[in-house]
Amino acid sequence: MRLRIKLSPALSSHTEAVNGVDWLNTDEGITISDDHLIKLWILDKMESMDLSIVNVKEKIFPTSLQLSNHSLREATSKQANNPLKSSNTKISTSKNFSEIFLVTTSDGKIYLLNLNGKLEKIVDAHHGATIMARWNNSEPGGAGGFASCGEDGCVKIWSKNGMLRSVLAQIGKPVYSLDWNGDSSKLLYCAGDECFIKQLNVQSSPIKWRAHTGLVTCLGWSAVNDQILTGGEDCRYRLWNGQGRPLWSSSAYAFPISSVAWSHNGTMFAVGSFNLLRLCDKSGWSHSMERPNCGSINCLSWSPDCLQLIGGSASGQLLHAHIVEKKIGEVNILEKNNYWDDLRLIWEQLEAIQINRRTINIRDLSSEVVRERLETKDRIIKMEIGFNYLIVATSKQLYIFSAKNWNTPIVNDLREGSGLVSLIRLCEKCFLLVDSSSVQVLNYEGKSICNIKISSFGEPFNEQTAAIANDLVVLRDKTQHSLIHLFDPQNGRVAGDGEIKHLSNIVELCVNQCGGIVDRRIIFLDMNGDCFIALVNRYGAPERIQKIGSLLSCLTPNNSTNMMAALQDNQKLLVSLNLFPKIYFLFIFMFVCLHYNLLIKIC
């Protein structure tokens, strides 16, 4: 897995440093620069057009820019609406033009603008420069407001309309960066060499720790894996958990880290420095290091499909990067040698590698001679391999390839307005397809079996929070992370004894594949690293959930036997689901019955 980078030509680039970038949809972006211009981009062609701002007389010296995550989700489901046109470039933005985005400036103001160039409001936010503002996405449409930080050392919370709600922190030194956690209940910010985590609506002191030996220049907080990423003037980037405990520290580079960004699915992050862009997985391991000749990379932003990356540079050029040569599939955890890698995986003897935007190479590992080259009409958004099938989702179509005959795939058109496919999960007889507006189950003939009705707002589903078997769909609730929903894939109705409630937030789940619904077990990890096993149907058992381990990670069920593999303290661990759960629940049931009979005799 590596990055393929393209830089914007001089004619369409900014003339000064780019300080803010974001995505309009998966094909278009927006940038803002010290040359006082906002540009809209067609990224395939690297063409741009200027967005003129109405009713702004003074020149803007921007420090950051952000559109809301809700806007990005809406963008992907409104393709080809509201075209922006100029004499040279046609940008078919799929945005709602009344959508407000934030621009912070060096004179202490926050500008609330929309894509028509109309100025909605100017907020006098800070003394000195307003360095950054970030949307709170706990409510649809940015209704949760936003947070800002500045050179005056203040962190402030604002309503969507720019009304001050509270001053969250006052520090005697500039606050250079901030970010929200997944449910926007906590705010992370940095000042000097320290980082702070402040929980909203709770009267308690913030969590504080020394993150770097020099100034902390940038940070990010993954909404999916709850990990914190920081970069500093000590030329290192570091990973922390949600409580500020260290997980990883890089070696020192030649220049300070100027920008960091998590992918939306939490599996990768990017690090920018002077003439350097590095792609890493969530464990901190580096997969690609590129050296574009563009100066310091001041800001980075991932596309909604997590396959593209744009960055703003000190030279004024826009950097556009694609992930290529990505391997997918399933792997036996016993064959992993050094670390868990979510993207370099294979299914039994089959290996699938995406070599460019529309091409996949298939290789049979049992025979070096057997190779297939698969091509799609549009850009590949998501793909998954398993059970001798390869499912590929593009921006407009769904391809179902069979290992029996790679040359004749089943091709279905995706529904207009459904948005990009964000997740594919496979089982033996069917697969789960998730986009921004629906969750549906399809068979391998491409026919829809059912649509699962669940709220579209909240944290999107990923490989850790959604699972499927032939007779069960398991989904963690998007907003209440301690709740698991069970559905029947044949009709979309509630399965078994209904939802499973846990005391702590659930971070990972899986379901065994063998046997019928009677043998089905849900295994999940909570935020403390404790592993639990749960029954779909209780069948009179007094307890539905039982703990089976601690400090576990990377749950993986076996597809041919009822066994589960996991990591415990970086050591491989196998648990048999075929014997242990049945005996465990049966023992508890007999124990309760015995005590019940004794009570009857005593009475």
In a domain, 218, yes or no: yes
What pLDDT does residue 142 have? 60
- Of 331, 335, 377, 379, nearest to 354 (Cα)? 379
Here the CATH number for the domain that contains residue 562 is 2.40.10.480
- Of 573, 574, 575, 567, nearest to 341 (Cα)? 567
One domain for residues 92 and 219: yes
In a domain, 434, yes or no: no
Residue 589 — pLDDT band, cuts 50, 70, 90? very low
One domain for residues 111 and 170: yes
- Of 263, 262, 257, 249, nearest to 275 (Cα)? 257
Q: What is the pLDDT of residues 3-60, one digit of tens each?
A: 889 999 999 999 999 999 999 988 899 999 999 999 999 998 999 999 877 656 677 8
Residue 555's SS3 state is strand
Distance between CA atoms of residues 285 and 276, nearest Å: 16
What is the distance, to the nearest Å, from the Cα of residue 596 to the centroid of all Cα atoms in its chain? 49
In a domain, 183, yes or no: yes
Residue 592 — pLDDT band, cuts 50, 70, 90? very low
Q: What is the pLDDT of residues 220-266, one digit of tens each?
A: 999 888 899 999 999 999 999 999 999 999 999 999 999 999 998 88
For residue 386, the enclosing domain spans: 325-422
Residue 172's SS3 state is coil
Examine the pLDDT at 268 and tell me if it is beyond 90: yes
What pLDDT does residue 585 have? 44
Q: Average pLDDT in the 298-306 region? A: 93
Q: Which residues contact 65 (CB under 8 A, 6 or more apart)?
A: 19, 20, 21, 22, 30, 31, 32, 38, 101, 102, 103, 104
One domain for residues 268 and 384: no
Angstrom CA distances, 320 to 6, 29, 57, 258, 312, stand at 5, 10, 32, 17, 9
Residue 290 — pLDDT band, cuts 50, 70, 90? very high
One domain for residues 34 and 124: yes
- Tell me, what DSSP letter sits at residue 594? H
In a domain, 398, yes or no: yes
CB burial of residue 83 (10 Å; 0-12, 13-18, 19+): exposed
In this structure, how many other beta carbons lie within 10 angstroms of the beta carbon of residue 596?
10
Angstrom CA distances, 485 to 141, 207, 498, 579, stand at 26, 33, 7, 25
What pLDDT does residue 328 have? 55
In a domain, 447, yes or no: no
One domain for residues 104 and 237: yes
Domain count along the chain: 3
Out of 402, 422, 442, pick the residue that ends a domain.
422
One domain for residues 87 and 129: yes
What is the number of residues in the chain? Answer: 603
In a domain, 436, yes or no: no
Residue 569 and residue 551 in contact, taking contact as beta carbons nearer than 8 Å: yes
Angstrom CA distances, 121 to 17, 50, 323, 545, stand at 25, 20, 38, 52
Residue 218 and residue 176 in contact, taking contact as beta carbons nearer than 8 Å: yes
One domain for residues 291 and 365: no
One domain for residues 82 and 11: yes
Lowest pLDDT segment from 133-142, 374-383, 496-505: 133-142
